[in-house]
Structure 1
Amino acid sequence: MSFLYLDHNTSELLDRLLQGYDKRLRPGFGGLPTRVKTDIMVRSMGPISEKKMAYSMDCYFRQYWTDQRLSFNASVEPIAQVTLNVKMLNRIWFPDTVFLNGGHSYVHMITSPNKFVRLSANGSVYLSQRLTIKATCPMHLEKFPMDSQKCPLFVASFAYGSSDVFYEWRYGDLKAVSIAGGMTMSQFDLINIEAGHFIEIFKGVPHSIVSVNFHLRRHTGYFLIQVYLPCCLLVVLSWVSFWINREAASDRIALGTTTVLTMTFLALDSRDDLPRVSYSTALDVYVAMCFLFVFASIVQFAGIELQNSYQQNQHIRRTSSIVKHGFCPVCVQCLGKFLKCLMNTRNNKFKRHVRNALGLNSVSKIDKVSRILFPVAFTTLNIVYWVSYLTH
């Protein structure tokens, strides 16, 4: 019977409070602005899209304001607080809060609207909603993927100026946003949260705005495994051609072409998830550096071919000079066959000495220099690259 009595009295209380209540007017209309206090509890964040420059988060968004028209005497009534059905919001005034930089955000509706309304005796109304907020996040990607980003969220009234509705953080700027325990993100670490409030003029009317900035630091492990390491391995693979005999032109060209095409694919694939920005990122710089080294290995072989062509021309001139000065062409031909026979011997040490004496050694001086120059240059540029981006 006591429960029935309490339920009946609560229904009568709500009916009395709503008699003559005009939800079109804000609390304290014509007087001081209505102060709306807010706070946010973040349950999860992500995904964060660089291509769309946006982020999303699942959170509890809470608002607290006082409406004296809904106050009652707790000493007379059997209760001091009333938890209301969400349909009660259709009969009372509540703030027209919007996220100024928000996108397609929504209230969770399964299995029922995720909203909570509580009315206290002093007329204070507490509204909590579970939202998925999608908001824009202007990103600076010059240091991608070793970058840190600052993603803001701006909360304000859609229609009311600061003279009618004033927003502030309920627990102050330092405790404006709380994070659920164990929250992790796949791409970023949340390193800091900055909250504040300010006044900004929209269409000639000052509006009260509360803001929060999420400071995020990107994880680089994925890019080290998927991009940086393959690029390094491709560059090292291109150096294998320096140990291939210069007579094996087709093998060296096939190796160089394969590495260049693979580097091109990696360069295009690394930008799939990035917006078409007008500047180069740190990842672009590294991929371009690796591409130049791979391409340089092909250019190096072109230099060797030019050297071979020059040596062959010199050999033809020497032979022509011998014939011209009266040597028997048949003797010269026999001498050539004899040298060829020497070159075909199985004694590699002897064959190497013969080729050296004739200037026909298959190991080019350019190859010998490249075996040292390319690794040293690549290592040096890597040190400069990582020191430059990790220390600034």
Structure 2
Amino acid sequence: MHRRHANLALSQNISAVLENLLKNYDNMQRPASGVGPTRVRTNMLIRSMGPISELDMEYSMDCYFRQMWRDERLSFNSSIDQLSLNIKMLEGIWKPDTYFLNGRGSYVHMITRPNKLIRLSSNGSILYSMRLTIKAKCPMLLQHFPMDKQTCPLIIGSYAYTDRDLVYEWDQEINVAWPAAIYLSQFDLISFPFRNATVHRKSGLYSILQVNFNLQRHTGYFMINVYLPCTLIVVLSWVSFWINREATADRVSLGITSVLTLSTISIESRTSLPKVSYATALDWFLLVSFGFVIATLLEFASVHFFTKVTYEHG
């Protein structure tokens, strides 16, 4: 009974503290307004990444995105150092207008409730965490495909505040965390360097955060489904060298079948790639394979023609 009364008194005390904090609070005004820029520390925990689409040149990732800043207007004196608040509290306080500069479509998970968390410390420090699925642009150069390396950036910044009002910084302790258990089906993550920077727009300089995910592609799939079959088809086309030169139909049908099979493989390998104006390493390999098969047909045609001419004039 005594514990129940103590918990009730503590709850009432916390409610009174929060009501008093928001009584004269203006959520339209940023912290430290008129003194200096508000500093927002940020870190991310990557939960999963993928798919990575070469066709659309974009990637998606699931992460915990955390922002921390200090608002002295929300400091309080209490026996509790930190309060975990309901997300409705977010509507009453100032928040940074963070967005992803190269984002294409991001959303907060809402099942079973909005996946958001807010904690308020007695000194006015605020932790704002949410679970996001981010879809962002990833410009790719595919000249060396499928033995290529790609860099997929994620750029974070403020939509309206310049660096005079809002400055973003990576959290020195955590910054970007990538658990070792994460596995990508087509790529290996080589590194993920991050940096603080500023970008220039018409309205001024803006503080941004950037992390680059450096990826190296797995070649096993293409070795099994493209390189090995094409090599075997080229070797198979050489069988016509040992077929009787009078068996014209057999030689021609073998050569045409090899060409059609290579054409099918070539078309299938391009379905997941954008229509770029340059040739990839895979295109060059298929082109060389076509050259070997066509050379086999031309060799047979030449031998058959000159043999026939020699026989008729012999």
TM-score by length of 1: 0.78
2:101 aligned with 1:100, yes or no?
yes
Q: 1:44 aligns with which of 45, 48, 53?
A: 48
2:145 aligned with 1:144, yes or no?
yes
| Deviation (angstroms), 1:278 | 1.1
2:262 aligned with 1:247, yes or no?
no
Task: Return the letter of the residue paired with 1:191.
Answer: I
Task: Return the letter of the residue paired with 2:157.
Answer: A
Task: Return the letter of the residue paired with 2:129.
Answer: S
C-alpha offsets along residues 7-33 of structure 1, whole Å, 9 cap, x if unaligned?
Answer: 110000000000111101101112200
> Which runs of 5 or more residues in structure 2 are unaligned?
none
2:24 aligned with 1:20, yes or no?
yes
- How much identity, in percent, do the aligned residues show? 54
Contact 1:195 1:210 in 2 (8 A): yes
| Deviation (angstroms), 1:309 | 2.1
Which stretch shows the higher mean deviation, 197-206 or 123-132? 197-206
Distance in 2, matches of 1:105 and 1:271, equals: 28
Q: How does 1:178-327 map to 2 (within 5 A)?
A: 178-315=177-314
Distance in 2, matches of 1:266 and 1:23, equals: 60
Task: Return the letter of the residue paired with 1:122.
Answer: N
Distance in 2, matches of 1:13 and 1:59, equals: 33
The 3-state SS of whatever aligns with 1:31 is coil
C-alpha offsets along residues 349-384 of structure 1, whole Å, 9 cap, x if unaligned?
Answer: xxxxxxxxxxxxxxxxxxxxxxxxxxxxxxxxxxxx
| Deviation (angstroms), 1:170 | 1.2
Aligned partner of 1:5 in structure 2 is 9
Which is greater in Rg? Answer: 1
The 3-state SS of whatever aligns with 2:283 is helix
C-alpha offsets along residues 29-59 of structure 1, whole Å, 9 cap, x if unaligned?
Answer: 1220000000011011111011111111110
| Deviation (angstroms), 1:267 | 1.1
> Which runs of 5 or more residues in structure 1 are unaligned?
316-392
| Deviation (angstroms), 1:275 | 0.9
Aligned partner of 2:124 in structure 1 is 123
Aligned partner of 2:159 in structure 1 is 158
The 3-state SS of whatever aligns with 1:104 is strand
The 3-state SS of whatever aligns with 2:237 is helix
Aligned partner of 2:85 in structure 1 is 84
Task: Return the letter of the residue paired with 2:227.
Answer: Y
Distance in 1, matches of 2:222 and 2:6, equals: 66
Distance in 2, matches of 1:262 and 1:203, equals: 55
2:56 aligned with 1:55, yes or no?
no
Specify which structure has the higher proportion of helix: 1
Q: 1:30 aligns with which of 22, 34, 50?
A: 34
| Deviation (angstroms), 1:85 | 0.9
| Deviation (angstroms), 1:254 | 0.6
Specify which structure has the higher proportion of strand: 2
Aligned partner of 1:334 in structure 2 is none
| Deviation (angstroms), 1:200 | 1.1
Aligned partner of 1:382 in structure 2 is none
Task: Return the letter of the residue paired with 1:50.
Answer: E
Aligned partner of 1:371 in structure 2 is none
The 3-state SS of whatever aligns with 2:7 is helix
| Deviation (angstroms), 1:180 | 2.2
Higher-RCO chain (CA-CA 8 Å, sequence separation at least 6): 2
Task: Return the letter of the residue paired with 2:49.
Answer: M
Distance in 2, matches of 1:183 and 1:202, equals: 36
Task: Return the letter of the residue paired with 2:69.
Answer: W
Distance in 1, matches of 2:128 and 2:25, equals: 19
Task: Return the letter of the residue paired with 1:168.
Answer: E
> What do you get for the CA RMSD once the two structures are aligned?
1.0
The 3-state SS of whatever aligns with 2:24 is coil
| Deviation (angstroms), 1:104 | 0.8
Distance in 1, matches of 2:180 and 2:94, equals: 34
| Deviation (angstroms), 1:308 | 2.6
| Deviation (angstroms), 1:123 | 0.3
Distance in 2, matches of 1:86 and 1:237, equals: 67
Distance in 1, matches of 2:100 and 2:221, equals: 32
Contact 1:44 1:180 in 2 (8 A): no
| Deviation (angstroms), 1:86 | 1.0
Task: Return the letter of the residue paired with 1:262.
Answer: T
C-alpha offsets along residues 276-317 of structure 1, whole Å, 9 cap, x if unaligned?
Answer: 1111111111011001101111111110221132123214xx
Distance in 1, matches of 2:151 and 2:194, equals: 12
Distance in 1, matches of 2:287 and 2:310, equals: 35
Distance in 2, matches of 1:253 and 1:218, equals: 39
